[in-house]
Amino acid sequence: MTDHVDRKTRSLIMAAVRSEDTKPELAVRKIVHAMGYRYRLHDRKLPGRPDLVFVSRCKAIFVHGCFWHRHTGCRYATSPKTHVAFWKAKFSYNVARDRRNRRELKKMGWVVLTVWQCELKNPKKLTERLNEFLAN
């Protein structure tokens, strides 16, 4: 199957993909802030630059897109039909990097939570999960 847009348009689309302040991240930040918690954003001193950092609690939250970070069993973790080798390598690298960052943070004494994009479909359940993570 070929791409439905030309190369220049595809390049513009891919260049617009954000790594910070994504819609899922902003939604999680809004929920956490409404719960009364305060946090730092993208602490450069920590492995993987977690999206939300709670320094006094030694807790960090990553907000991952299901497509880019390969949420296992998720319907949003589809694979492109073109350039299969490129995407397979890209996704493998992302997953390995995420695993390495979590491991390094845990070695440093941090507690880590990953929030998946698809979890935003049920805000009530996500709020409960975040509250349980942050309360202890």
Which pLDDT tens digit goes with each residue over 22-41? 899 999 999 999 999 999 99
pLDDT of residue 12: 75
* Residue % of the chain over a pLDDT of 90: 79
Domains of the chain: 20-135 (3.40.960.10)
pLDDT of residue 114: 98
Q: Are 25 and 117 spatial neighbours (Cβ–Cβ below 8 Å)?
A: no
Structure tokens at 15: 């260049």
* Per-residue pLDDT at 85 exceeds 70: yes
With vertex at residue 29, the alpha carbon angle to CA 25 and CA 34, rounded to the nearest 5 degrees, is 155
Q: Quick one: angle between helices 23-34 and 123-135, nearest 10? A: 60
Average pLDDT in the 4-10 region? 78
pLDDT of residue 127: 97
DSSP 125: H
Q: Cα separations (Å) of 47 from 43, 112, 120, 124?
A: 9, 11, 25, 30
